[in-house]
Amino acid sequence: MPGNRTRSRYAPDQGLTTRMVTTMFLIGLLYVVFVGALIALLRGAWPIILLVAGGLFIVQFWFSDRIAAAGMGAREVTPEQAPELHGAVDRICALADMPKPRVAIAHSDVPNAFATGRNERTALVCATTGLLRRLEPEELEGVLAHELSHVAHRDVAVMTIASFLGVLAGMLTRFALWGGLSRAGNSRDSNTAIAMLLIPLVSAVVYVISFLLTRLLSRYRELSADRAAALLTGRPSALASALTKVTGQMARIPTQDLRKAEPFNAFWFAPAFSSKESLSRLLSSHPTLEQRLDQLGRISAQLGRAA
């Protein structure tokens, strides 16, 4: 749970902790209701439903960080292979008094970064080649401080688990339809036919609710990470500059590359949009650039008055 994390010098965020606990409770409740509904609709298949649901949860929890990293093309690098990136991570970890995570690079022109991991021991922080090529050292440290705050606050693990239910809803629906429709075709049982109609409906409702819950948490956690990184480094202007550069460069990235990155928006430092009219603009995993810059401006003013 979030409260059990190792303490670091990152500023604590009670609002983030409260939202994580609330989201996990609601997602867990939704998970139980969803599996219960499937068992009620497909009484004869309940052992398989429980087995599949439990197995998928274990896989999602234990291997989701590796799956996400592989999906985004992350390749772990040594200090000899990427001395500047490792040096920046070393400085942030020393400043935050936290263990150093594994360090990776993704060969992509999309300027971005992300962090994954269930805890600090399994954490991985990754920067793309596009990001490393475009940012100055202080800007890169601001981005890395942002990503490492996700690890320190454990919200990476919470987001991974919270997003599981939507994946499960889709997979179990396909499984139920594959097995149930074949039986329905050989049977005139009205209950089976009704069940086959209700399962996609229940799954759609579950997916929408879990999607909205994770999006609400995601937007807040990005603001929290910006705030924590700015306070830790004492250079909110460097993070603001990095945000402006990264967001501005997105329009110059080939659409094909953006589409490959877009499914992982919840993990990225800044979202990748394949078009300005994308539905992700309405239900974004991130706050707007204006919101993020406005918060960093206020932090800069506060630090200036305290100096």
CB 142 within 8 A of CB 121: no
Is residue 277 annotated as part of the catalytic site, yes or no? no
Q: Write the burial class of residue 133 (CB in 10 Å: 0-12 exposed, 13-18 middle, 19+ buried).
A: exposed
User: What gap in Å lies between CA 102 and CA 150, rounded to an integer?
Assistant: 14
Buried b (16+ CB within 10 A) or exposed e, 59-97: ebeeebbeebbeebbbeebeeeebeebbebbeebbebbe
Beta bridge partners of 198: none
Which residues, including other chains, have CB under 8 Å from residue 181's CB and lie 6 or more apart? 196
CB 152 within 8 A of CB 16: no
Cβ count within 10 A of residue 126: 27
Q: What is the 3-state secondary structure (H, E, C) of 201-262?
A: HHHHHHHHHHHHHHHHHHHHHHHHHHHHHHHHHCCHHHHHHHHHHHHHHHCCCCHHHHHHHH
CB 250 within 8 A of CB 163: no
Q: Which CA distances in Å does 46 have to 42, 129, 191, 293?
A: 7, 47, 16, 50
Q: Which of 84, 147, 262, 290 is catalytic?
A: 147
**Catalytic residue IDs:** 147
